[in-house]
Chains A and B, each alone.
Chain A
């Protein structure tokens, strides 16, 4: 035990820990500001509590060597699948989707944990490969591993959360034996295909609210009272923060209820309004520093399964960040994807903390064999 601790002090990924803690603290403060004086005020305390749970999860994910996690990955994965199925049948329904597991006073979305379990199971599969090379067959199996909980989440139905599994499939693809140029060709093909699917989907399975979001994203001024209201008010919140912001607890868009969902999906709007350009860019810098750290870990990871875990953490967090921040600042259409570590919500916080912990774990154990 003493040796383990000593080794951790010597080799642990302290930069990641630091960035992670900064984000957690930022989240605790911003959720407080975003709920101050509203009926959601008690959520600030809850979020603080969740932060401690998140730290515990992080410590656990970092200290337990990741090969141990991988060893138990199939069990964890299986458990998650069972729970997801259970939730589908017995789960607590919020806003029309059965995605909540309620245990006493605590509600939890198992799909967030299923994401980590899927990453670990994928890593477990890679570990068991003798050649450690991801070809078509291996990629297909990895995709299957990830797609199973994703589909279960999709059928809850929770479209937004389901999409957060996709980056892990891309991670598996990216780590395949294909070179960069080949991957880029495939990416171009996928983009073209995606365009076709989008056009077809527009006329077939897209729900009216989804279409509306896209339309108002393309032209937010079209309806600042109806569908474009959120987008419009979010943009006012961001812009009116100016260089230095209005100060914590002093954002009028936030405090006077103009900003929709200020403590969850639009918390970045609160950050922009209250801490200004400087605060918002500083926060983004922390995020991108963390992601950059993951990339350097990717290069030094000692094995394929470690790389896979790091790239999963990287892609999942980047996806959240890109979609959420992009939505608030008007670069992508409105979706229900939270901002990692800052949006209110325990499940996502714990799930993503485990990812960061595992990435730090891979780095800490880069010399271990």
Chain B
């Protein structure tokens, strides 16, 4: 039987064969294009798919006090991170987050966090979140695809409020920090010191993050699969931990002093005059550095900034105040060095001195005719008006420079302010006109165109203690660093020291007597407002009361400690200041141990704050601005009289 082959079949079959070859070649070419020509590209994409770089976070160095007590360590914390590079909608994630985690955040906050993050697609939404969120996010992988919980190390200051200004705090690396510090980071959790020694020693403390490349599946979960031999997976760079930092602080002394402040505002610094080692650094009121460990909640930040007592101010170096009577030993020393005064130089105090038609008052109704040592002991204003007038502002300025008054001390803390040591040159530079002789008088009793930081004053007393050698004040332990040596004659020093010793033994500084130890100190009471002249300072409102000072060193021969205490609106230096100083000296010389800590020593973890706030400025303006240029009278004498108010006789301790 003939095959009923219709005539078209061979042609049709041939056509199909051509079609078949066409499809085959099309497929093969397409595969060649994808696999051979662009294989590299797709291999990279596939490697990006399955590898994730896991940051191995390096712990920041611990902070230790001089006895090895831990002032700052690291703790493990869980943080909530949004990864914008993962698929999904941020808005939907936020609403799921609200529903599942009961955590509310608005879109603007997330955008801000993304903008400020060192890693473009990662934003830290909250830190110190409850560990239970880990399971919740796992359980809702679909809806919360963009979120993940990361473990990080955060700063923990076990002493809480104590020594907060010295230690400082850390915060997440901001774009500005990254630029300034030349840090290229791929970790959104990198923290840098924002103040205190955390900032000064940041590089040393930071360490270097390590990395590990892990193999992940399509859900981003890490998987171990021995069958897969993947290039690049398992590469590990170990983190380099930050180095621990030993501080010169003595936490027991610190605790005693802070407790002694008992809610007052002010500063206290204790230092070894022979090395510049800072033993205690008090700035009251305190803030809690734990609060800053990472993101600062908006409300906490606002509270700190708006606080009228300005807890963020690091008073020993950022507060500039008139030194008051604590300045007198300087005037005495300059007079002695310049040969214009001697131990036997006498002036007569009748309670008031008429200078060019203007009355300048003493706090006393009259000390009578007294010598230099007695004048220091009794803090006679009239004597020092005469002395200052004799010495002149140029010599005070010259020696002030040598002792570093009105200059930064170079302490290893950020944000130091310089204060003002008035001089004709200084006045001219500011366009304040010529220097009038009448303006030298207030300066010689520590008022007028004169503000110092507590640390500057301490540095001066410390230099008295060493006999002229100036050390850089240091919180971070290390070899002593001599700043300069002031050529001071032993005779001049002897006279001033005698005066200081008498202040404590039988003058205004009796409050800091230590049995068996000869303490040298000078109290001071710096006038805050004109209104206080001639009034009992304790009768004034707190805000108008005078600042109380005390500065000195001990023991008289071979001093081992120099100190300064300054209590804002504290009244008389001999009262509140001496009490605080005495507490510290008792610990150092008599071994009295600190009592109970006051305040919250270690707050538990801070609740998840919403977001990072703007930079906290470290260079706050000084608390007390340089004295307003008072309009001099034609005779060149300030309108008001400026007096040392060591309190009327009878009230004095």
Contacts and interface: CB of A to CB of B under 8 A. Distances in A.
- Asked if A pairs with B, the answer is yes
Contacts of A252: 46-47, 49-50, 228, 230
11 contacts: A180-B12, A229-B87, A235-B34, A238-B34, A240-B45, A243-B36, A252-B228, A284-B31, A292-B17, A298-B13, A331-B26
A108 interface: no
Interface stretch (B216-224, B357-365, B379-387): B216-224
A250 B31 contact: no
A307 B216 CA distance: 53
Interface in B260-286: none
Interface string A192-210: 0000000000000000000
Given A280-B31, A299-B9, A329-B27, A240 B39 contact: yes
Given A177-B6, A236-B46, 13 more contacts: A36-B227, A180-B11, A236-B49, A240-B43, A256-B50, A256-B225, A256-B228, A257-B218, A258-B46, A258-B49, A272-B34, A288-B21, A295-B13
B118 to A, nearest CB: 24
A277 B32 contact: yes
A178 B8 CA distance: 8
Contact of A329 (B24, B30, B50, B216): B30
A221 to B, nearest CB: 12
B108 interface: no
Q: Which of B27, B41, B223, B230 has the most CB of A within 10 A?
A: B27
A303 interface: yes
Contacts of B87: 225-226, 229
Interface SS, A side: helix
Contacts of B225: 37, 255-256
B3 interface: yes
B120 interface: no
Contacts of A250: 227-229
Contacts of A326: 27
B86 to A, nearest CB: 8
A256 B36 contact: no
A322 interface: yes
A126 B7 CA distance: 18
A26 to B, nearest CB: 16
A11 interface: no
Interface in A157-189: 174, 177-180, 183
B43 A237 contact: no
A302 B3 CA distance: 6
A180 B17 contact: no
B49 A256 contact: yes
A299 to B, nearest CB: 5
Q: Which of A177, A180, A237, A281 has the most CB of B within 10 A?
A: A180
B591 interface: no
Contacts of A331: 26-27, 30
Nearest to A369: B1
A292 B30 contact: no
B229 A257 contact: no
B34 to A, nearest CB: 4
Nearest to B8: A179
A83 interface: no
Contacts of B31: 238, 272, 277, 280-281, 284, 329
Contacts of A285: 24
Question: Shortest 7 CB-CB distances between A and B: which pairs?
Answer: A239-B42, A225-B87, A242-B39, A240-B46, A257-B218, A277-B35, A256-B217
Given A239-B42, A243-B39, A180 B34 contact: no
Contacts of A247: 229
Interface string A250-293: 10110111100000000000001000110011001100100110
Contacts of B13: 295, 298-299
Nearest to B16: A295
B215 A256 contact: yes
Contacts of A257: 217-219
A233 B49 CA distance: 9
Interface string A324-336: 0110011100000
B23 interface: yes
A338 interface: no
Nearest to B28: A281
A122 interface: no
Chain B contact patch, size range: 35 or more
Nearest to A225: B87
A304 interface: yes
Interface of A: 36-37, 132-133, 174, 177-180, 183, 225-226, 229, 233, 235-243, 247, 249-250, 252-253, 255-258, 272, 276-277, 280-281, 284-285, 288, 291-292, 295, 298-299, 302-304, 307, 314, 318, 322, 325-326, 329-331, 369
B4 interface: yes
A295 B17 contact: yes
A168 to B, nearest CB: 15
A307 B4 CA distance: 11
Given A238-B35, A255-B227, A256-B217, A292 B42 contact: no
Nearest to A258: B218
A242 B88 contact: no
Given A132-B4, A241-B39, A276-B35, A299 B10 contact: yes
B486 interface: no
Nearest to B86: A225
B38 interface: yes
Given A256-B216, A329-B27, A295 B20 contact: yes
Interface string B490-504: 000000000000000
Contacts of B88: 225
B355 interface: no
Interface string B191-231: 00000000000000000000000011111000101011110
Q: Which of A238, A252, A314 has the most CB of B within 10 A?
A: A252
B103 interface: no
A249 B12 CA distance: 43
Contacts of A256: 49-50, 215-218, 223, 225, 228
B301 to A, nearest CB: 36
Nearest to A296: B13
Contacts of B219: 257
A359 B21 CA distance: 20
Contacts of B11: 179-180
A180 B218 CA distance: 50
Contacts of B49: 233, 236, 252-253, 256, 258
B6 A133 contact: yes
B42 A240 contact: yes
B1 A284 contact: no
A178 B3 CA distance: 18
A239 B17 contact: no
Contacts of B215: 256
Nearest to A299: B13
Nearest to A298: B13
Nearest to A291: B20
A241 B38 CA distance: 10
Contact of B45 (A132, A236, A299, A302): A236
Given A37-B225, A292-B17, A304-B4, A284 B24 contact: yes
A298 B9 contact: yes
A266 B229 CA distance: 23
Contacts of B23: 288, 318, 322
Given A256-B50, A257-B218, A331-B26, A239 B39 contact: yes
A294 to B, nearest CB: 9
A302 B42 CA distance: 50
Nearest to A248: B227
A237 B34 CA distance: 10
Interface in B326-382: none
Nearest to A257: B218
B222 to A, nearest CB: 11
B223 A277 contact: no
Contacts of A225: 87-88
